[in-house]
Structure 1
Amino acid sequence: MVDRGAVDRGVTPAAVPSPDDWPARPELILALNQTGSFDWDLDTGRLHLDPAALEILQMPPERFHGSIADLAGRVPRDDAARLDALVSQHLKNGSDTYGAYYRIRTGDGGMRWTYTQGRIQRDAEGRPLRILGLVRDATQELGQAGPREPDAERRHQTTVVETITAALAHARTVQDVIDFFKDSRAVEHLGSDLLVLGLLDSGRIHLVAEGPSEHFIPGTLYTRVDDDFPMSEVIRTLAPRFIESPEEFASGYPWLWERIKDIGIASAAYLPLIAQARPIGALGLLYRDARGFTRQERNLFIALSSSLSQAIARAMLFDQEHDLAEGLQQSMLPRRIPEVPGAQIAVRYRSARMGRDIGGDWYDAIPLPGGRVGAVIGDVQGHDTHAAAVMGQLRIVLRAYATEGHSPATVMARASSFLHELETDRFATCTYAEADLTTGVVQLVRAGHIDPLLRHTDGTCRRLPVSGGLPLGLSAEFGRIDYPVTTVELDPGETLMMFTDGLVEQPGSDLDEGMRRLSGLVREGPYDLDKLADLLCDVVGERVGEDDMAVLLLRRHGPATRGGGRLQQHIAPADPDGLSAGRHMIRAAVRAWGARERSDEVELVADELVTNALLHTDGAAVVTIRMITGPERRVRVEVEDKSSALPRRREPGESGVSGRGLLLVDRLADVWGVEPRGTGKSVWCEFVVPDRHHVADDAG
């Protein structure tokens, strides 16, 4: 006989052998009880469902690709919204577990109940990382009618609050809230037939939304708080108003009832929207059937109005802070762009749609002597008032250095030193272009910024590879303030496009892709400069981003004057690119000024002076070419260096090699000389050029 006492004590007698598969594996136990498992990686979005879970969720394995989106359509919309709101709530409030019943669509078009239980794994800081859970068939447990606890009515009320709260959580502006209530789905979520939303505006109630379609009644777009309307009443009393029959509606508000009775309204609930003990508006839910509002329903509406009030108050604060920030940003940008003879300039600034802080993006256009103009585009690190303050100071010092007559490289170097001396933790990227509208020669200096684009007269667009240095502030900190200069030619009708990264960078795409997208947009865009600038702003405004955008478009129309141009190039020792850029600048300037007959002489002499300065001094050389107008037109070339030793011309027969180049200068130039400077000297020469009436034709 079997010892029953031994069995009760957990002892297995030898006469009762254990099953071969005892204890059963967890997978077998889960499968026999119609239970599956899932593993959801919240960082990557990957979702794993085992075969049992796929069967319970009625998901064919070949249609599941490891994403939560693959389950779309399997769960009814109301259940999906409630489940999403529940999971989001538990992820935010620090809970470790959650459980929920919901329905699944079966292959034959029916519904069956399912239960999901999940355990949330978090990191040391409490951030949710992963959800491990079970999913099981709950049809037999609940029956076809659904769960009895909580009952259907309470579940419906909970679903309404959770759905509306989840939807309004994404509303950032007041317009976002209005758009939600204009959507037909808002009426479905609330369970009403019609709705109206009014907000207080300068002491009046402004009807801002109706749904699911407009039933505008003349005289109700703007109403007063002391009018005989249910919205006015709930705002005055700060208490909800429940109208349960047509008779109650007609007796309480006869003027309004005469105008809405044809719509078929029989009852309504009007709720005050209160924030910080002050009314901000009212919400009306209207029904075609007469109904009594239970205590549970009234509590639901009060909770709903509280949630909506918080969302609108938050959106109002966001709008106010964003308007204030954007106004401050705009006040730090130039009030107007000057008229520059020979060019058209269009600028735009667009603040980020996400985030309410100010950014550090800026632009500037600086008129310079001799038919030149300076164009600046920049971006200070950060999105706060400190970034805006740094931006304002940088814009001023860049303008000051440029108008003092410094070369583009010097302007950028001094701006970097200035930012470093501010002892701020911010740096800035920037591009500065100095364009001579007489010659079309543009000198560009880039400090960690995005390359500009060049749009040709035929609409084609290409990226300008501009040599760059470190961002402003960082270059001075690391002692690398030498900025190379890139020289390009801007023909009449061509457009230089300078912009900040907010125009081309989008989440999920790299910079090159953004530049290609922008080039295509510009190629297909309008020729008119202002319309093109508007198009760029509209495209940026269509997408949600966390970065501002500034853009400056500079189009050359043609020579503004027949003379007076001036160009300058900084050439560092052992810098073949700088030497080549200097030669290119001189060649382009001489050709544009109509001095083609003497171009070889000017280039040869300028090259000789620059080479002497680099060979016989320890520092860099600065070459300047300018057109001097007067009784006769003259091209003047100046080469500055930091050596105070004056050059000496050697005559034929003298020993030594140094100084022979000045013989060439003396023979080719009409006049030349040397001027001592405070930090060195300048060797200059001038060439008389013919005065032609068709300079542009000769330059072509």
Structure 2
Amino acid sequence: MDSDTSGPGRPADAPPVRNRDDVLVEAARRTMRDLQAASVAVYLPVSGEPMLGAAVAAVEPLGIGLMERVSINDDVFPSAAAYKTGRPTVAHSLDILGKHPEFSVFAPYPLTIASAPLESAGKRFGTISAFWPGIFRQIGSDDLDRLAAAGREAARELVTLAAAGISMQAGEVPVIASLSTAYASSGEDAVKEAETAPFLYHVQQLALRLPRALSLEDVVHEVTRRVVAGLKAQATAITTLENGRLRVVGASGCSQLFLRRLEASSASSGMPEERAMTERRQLFFGPADPGTRDRVESAAAGDDAEEQVWVVSPLLVGARVFGTCSIGFTADGRHFAAERAALNALVPLLGQAFERIRTQDASHALARKLQQTLLPRMLPSIPGLASTSRYVPTSGGLELGGDWYDLIRLPTGGVTAVIGDVQGHSTAATVVMGQLRSVVRAYATDGLSPGPLLRRTNRLLAELNTDLFATCCCAWLDPETGRMRVATAGHPPPLIREASGNYLDPEPDVGPPLGVDAEYEYTDVDVHLEPGALVAFYTDGFLGAGPGHEVSPSVIDTAYAASHGQLEAIGDEVVKRTTVLPRAADDAALLLLRYEEPSAQARHYVRRLEIARRDLQGVQRARRFLREWLSAWNLEALDDEAQLLLSEIVTNALVHADSDVDLRIRRYPDYLRVEVRDSDPHPAINVGSPGEDQAEGGRGMMIVSALASTWGNSPSGRGKTVWFELPV
């Protein structure tokens, strides 16, 4: 089979050829009439994807059963099977629903579907598919023969068009012809049907698709492509009202001049959008209206601005106006009654979708804020011990996770590391997580070792009568000696990788989760760490983690090799290699510790400075602090570069993170490492504004990237760490 749809350039003396879509529409209409089908679609390949897309469709006003995209590799769809095999294929919607229940949105009643290839002269361009309502409708051989003949006849003309260099790929949305027009041969009614069908079809498609949109960007993209490609609009602009001014959230075909005016408009600007909001109704502006000038890209380039008409509608939720939808069409003497009616139906759908997503986003942000508040603001600095953490929230909408971790500095000089996961994804789980974190911190500070600590925490959770249980792994470490004790309650034990690459197996007694057996006696086991050992605590939100499916040591080894042993980069690599998108409805926590050397030795080569939020002298204090310790370590040669890099990172943290800043300097035998931690999980950004002269303060993180031998920008639970290294 030759699926190449490109061809040589069209000769100058070649006879005129028909428009490709006209050929396909005629084939769809003829097939509807011959087979008495409810709808017919012609599918062509989608550019850059293993998909078939509906290029044209002859449909009833509501577009019976039509799916606009099907995977070429999914034979459950007859279009895909016919395209791959070159033979007519019949399927029933019940068969498709077994594998694709989402199909029920587009066909909520049983359908029978038959497809045949568009093939001629050894070239296969796509398929033609007919749809009939009914349970297991019998499709005779005569029907399949007529469908196959329609495919061959259309393909013969497509061969000529492809040779002329005309694309044989599906567009964004199908060209729509109505069912009534398919049967009508002439007359004013047929013309009206032809004008109305696309609007009804695309509004109905938006009614099906917008409730499933997950973001404002998804809504804007879906509406824009339907309006521009489906309704043949010349331009569109969608705005939201924020703080008394309009903000453009999506646009197509509009001039930059118009978009700038729209962004700057206020209630007194007199623009058509402001009038529509004030009057709370759809307004129509003809070619002579001055408000329609310079709105379209072609008009801005010099075309006659009087060639456009604009329909401007306010976006309403109840009595509240929160934006506008403006659509421009080429003026051709029509009254645009069908367009205005369709847009009247579209605007409420758009308003409801915007309001739903805004409400969800606000609730999700509140839930995320609550959960992040219960995580450590930043991990403590422990001489002889490097640490970092990662927290990947669930993508399950408003669900809250129960994963937590902590690193607790003890009065005796030791440290307790803990990680856990409360059952469920709810506010109750998050509240229990906060209670357990507080209890564990209190018990650890009182000096309890991991086994007794879990026993007391277990009894407390049982007494709370929450009907929830939690898994938990707890470890105590003495940085002076490298001695570690580990206990676990239904949680995977930590992975312990030695500097040599070997793994230690602490073999703890994995007891039941907390809250299951109030009398269980948890015990801990001893492990001895040598300098360079890496300890990884994790929860089961990571891919492949959980009871009997612990994270493989190979994941740590691969991350270690890819990051050259840099702790922050190891955390990034582990997250990248053990989580997938879209994420499952579970959050994930990771706590990494690296034992570097006994704390008595480490204290001389680790220094820490805390900078209060909004400290106007913070950058100056940080520079002075760094200069003093570079001098003490005989590293004055690094002073200029290190000072410049530190200034950029600390300034960025103070300006954008709006939190306290924790500065840590570590001197290693062959390099200097500087870490700046804050409480904002968003990546560091340039201090300068967009377009600002780079020599006057817009340099931001580009200086760090240019001068540091290596650097990183890593989210770390509730905050982030920005670090750089310079060779000694």
Same fold (TM > 0.5): yes
Aligned partner of 1:71 in structure 2 is 80
Shift in Å, 1:514: 7.4
Give runs of aligned pairs for residues 77-88 of structure 1, distance below 5 A.
none
User: Match of 2:118, as an amino acid?
Assistant: T
- TM-score scaled by length of structure 2: 0.57
1:202 paired to 2:243:
yes
Counterpart contact for 1:459–1:524, Cα < 8 Å: no
Q: Hey, what's the Cα distance between the residues in 1 that align with 2:594 and 2:572?
A: 16
Would the alpha carbon gap of residues 218 and 355 (structure 1) be closer, same or farther in structure 2, given more than 3 Å must change? closer
1:147 paired to 2:179:
yes
Deviations 1:638-673 (A, max 9, x none): xxxxxxxxxxxxxxxxxxxxxxxxxxxxxxxxxxxx
Aligned partner of 2:10 in structure 1 is none
Q: Hey, what's the Cα distance between the residues in 2 that align with 1:213 and 1:454?
A: 58
User: Which region of structure 1 is more displaced relative to structure 2, 513-522 or 395-404?
Assistant: 513-522
Shift in Å, 1:426: 0.8
Counterpart contact for 1:181–1:211, Cα < 8 Å: no
Aligned partner of 1:393 in structure 2 is 435
Deviations 1:103-147 (A, max 9, x none): 86532358756233244xxxxxxxxxxxx5556749989x99873
Match among 487, 494, 518 for residue 533 of structure 2: 494
User: Match of 1:262, as an amino acid?
Assistant: A
Q: Hey, what's the Cα distance between the residues in 2 that align with 1:170 and 1:463?
A: 47
User: Match of 2:132, as an amino acid?
Assistant: T
Can you give the 5+ residue segments of structure 1 that lack an aligned partner in the other structure? 1-32, 36-56, 58-62, 76-81, 120-131, 564-700
Can you give the 5+ residue segments of structure 2 that lack an aligned partner in the other structure? 1-34, 38-65, 67-71, 85-92, 155-176, 183-192, 603-728
Give runs of aligned pairs for residues 232-631 of structure 1, distance below 5 A.
232-245=274-287, 247-248=288-289, 251-253=290-292, 260-262=299-301, 266-290=308-332, 292-457=334-499, 466-476=508-518, 479=519, 481-505=520-544, 511=549, 517=555, 520-525=558-563, 527-536=565-574, 540=579, 542-561=581-600
- TM-score scaled by length of structure 1: 0.59
Counterpart contact for 1:117–1:134, Cα < 8 Å: no
Shift in Å, 1:515: 7.1
Shift in Å, 1:422: 0.4
User: Match of 1:147, as an amino acid?
Assistant: L
Q: Give 3-state SS (helix, strand or coil) of 1:224's partner.
A: coil
User: Match of 1:107, as an amino acid?
Assistant: E
Q: Give 3-state SS (helix, strand or coil) of 1:474's partner.
A: coil
Shift in Å, 1:225: 3.5
1:188 paired to 2:229:
yes
Would the alpha carbon gap of residues 207 and 548 (structure 1) be closer, same or farther in structure 2, given more than 3 Å must change? same
User: Match of 1:114, as an amino acid?
Assistant: A
Deviations 1:244-270 (A, max 9, x none): 43x23xx23557589954375623332
User: Match of 1:148, as an amino acid?
Assistant: S
Aligned partner of 2:625 in structure 1 is none
Would the alpha carbon gap of residues 455 and 221 (structure 1) be closer, same or farther in structure 2, given more than 3 Å must change? farther
Counterpart contact for 2:285–2:292, Cα < 8 Å: no
Shift in Å, 1:346: 1.5
Aligned partner of 2:131 in structure 1 is 115
Q: Give 3-state SS (helix, strand or coil) of 2:541's partner.
A: helix
Counterpart contact for 1:112–1:139, Cα < 8 Å: no
Would the alpha carbon gap of residues 113 and 523 (structure 1) be closer, same or farther in structure 2, given more than 3 Å must change? closer
Q: Give 3-state SS (helix, strand or coil) of 2:265's partner.
A: strand
Q: Hey, what's the Cα distance between the residues in 1 that align with 2:414 and 2:251?
A: 57
Q: Hey, what's the Cα distance between the residues in 1 that align with 2:127 and 2:591?
A: 59
Give runs of aligned pairs for residues 677-692 of structure 1, distance below 5 A.
none
Q: Hey, what's the Cα distance between the residues in 2 that align with 1:73 and 1:515?
A: 46
Q: Hey, what's the Cα distance between the residues in 2 that align with 1:473 and 1:412?
A: 11
Q: Give 3-state SS (helix, strand or coil) of 2:585's partner.
A: coil
Counterpart contact for 1:207–1:222, Cα < 8 Å: no
Q: Hey, what's the Cα distance between the residues in 1 that align with 2:431 and 2:478?
A: 31
Q: Give 3-state SS (helix, strand or coil) of 2:373's partner.
A: helix
User: Which region of structure 1 is more displaced relative to structure 2, 106-115 or 168-177?
Assistant: 106-115
Counterpart contact for 2:255–2:294, Cα < 8 Å: no
Counterpart contact for 2:544–2:550, Cα < 8 Å: no
Shift in Å, 1:284: 2.4
Aligned partner of 1:697 in structure 2 is none
Match among 238, 247, 252 for residue 211 of structure 1: 252
Deviations 1:59-80 (A, max 9, x none): xxxx9975338728959xxxxx
Would the alpha carbon gap of residues 140 and 504 (structure 1) be closer, same or farther in structure 2, given more than 3 Å must change? closer
CA radius of gyration, larger in: 1
User: Match of 1:302, as an amino acid?
Assistant: N
Counterpart contact for 2:79–2:128, Cα < 8 Å: no
Deviations 1:264-314 (A, max 9, x none): 562333232222321222222233454635433222112112112111111
Counterpart contact for 2:79–2:115, Cα < 8 Å: no
Shift in Å, 1:365: 1.0
User: Match of 1:344, as an amino acid?
Assistant: A
User: Match of 1:274, as an amino acid?
Assistant: L
Q: Hey, what's the Cα distance between the residues in 2 that align with 1:346 and 1:546?
A: 24
Counterpart contact for 1:495–1:556, Cα < 8 Å: yes
**RMSD after superposition:** 4.4
Instruction: Give the count of matched residue pairs.
Output: 478
